Amino acid sequence: MESRKHPLYLMRLAAKPWLSFVHMPSVIERYRSADFALFCYSEDHSGDLERKYSEALSVFRANLHELADVLKSYAWDESRVLFILHPHFQHLRPNTEGRVWNDLVSSSIEKICMANNFFFFNATETMKQCAGAHPDDFYWRVGDMHFSFKGLQEYSTVVHLSWHRL
């Protein structure tokens, strides 16, 4: 976004790599706390996640409420809003301790959807069944959250079939 502020395309071309690989990593390093790891909330399986992450969940849920209000005003009808959650690799394949990621995020989204009469579909369980013992076939590389072509095909089929059941 920052690179678009430059009027000349040549300047944008030069600014993009600098902003992406130099500036933003230093900003992230400066403002991210040392104990924060990407997706750490999803990896946690301790007893009381609601209490432990109450502040972060409060902010997240407030953002979800705001998003729901915006979607209602754009859609004119709640029944036209559909949330589809796709699983990350870590939702399908257990780690070395035998655990998959928790549903802290998806359950929060589901509650907001129910409260606002939005359709909600979480593809995780269906994709687990489709993937079987080889969820790595559905992603570009192990640990990546982006579907490969095979994963996109399976996911599209799952969403299509589930949508027709609603």
Please calculate the CA angle 60-31-54 and round it to the nearest 5 degrees. Answer: 30
Distance CA 77, CA 121 (A): 18
Please indicate, yes or no, whether residues 65 and 5 belong to a single structural domain of this protein.
no
Please indicate, yes or no, whether residues 4 and 84 belong to a single structural domain of this protein.
no
Total domains in the fold of the chain: 2
Please indicate, yes or no, whether residues 121 and 96 belong to a single structural domain of this protein.
yes
Contacts of 64 (CB under 8 A, 6+ apart): 108, 109, 112
SS3 label, residue 54? helix
Whole-number pLDDT of residue 20:
86
* pTM exceeds cut of 0.75: no
- Mean pLDDT split into 10-residue runs, the chain, 166 residues: 76 85 83 65 82 87 92 82 88 86 89 92 92 90 82 92 74
Please indicate, yes or no, whether residues 71 and 111 belong to a single structural domain of this protein.
yes
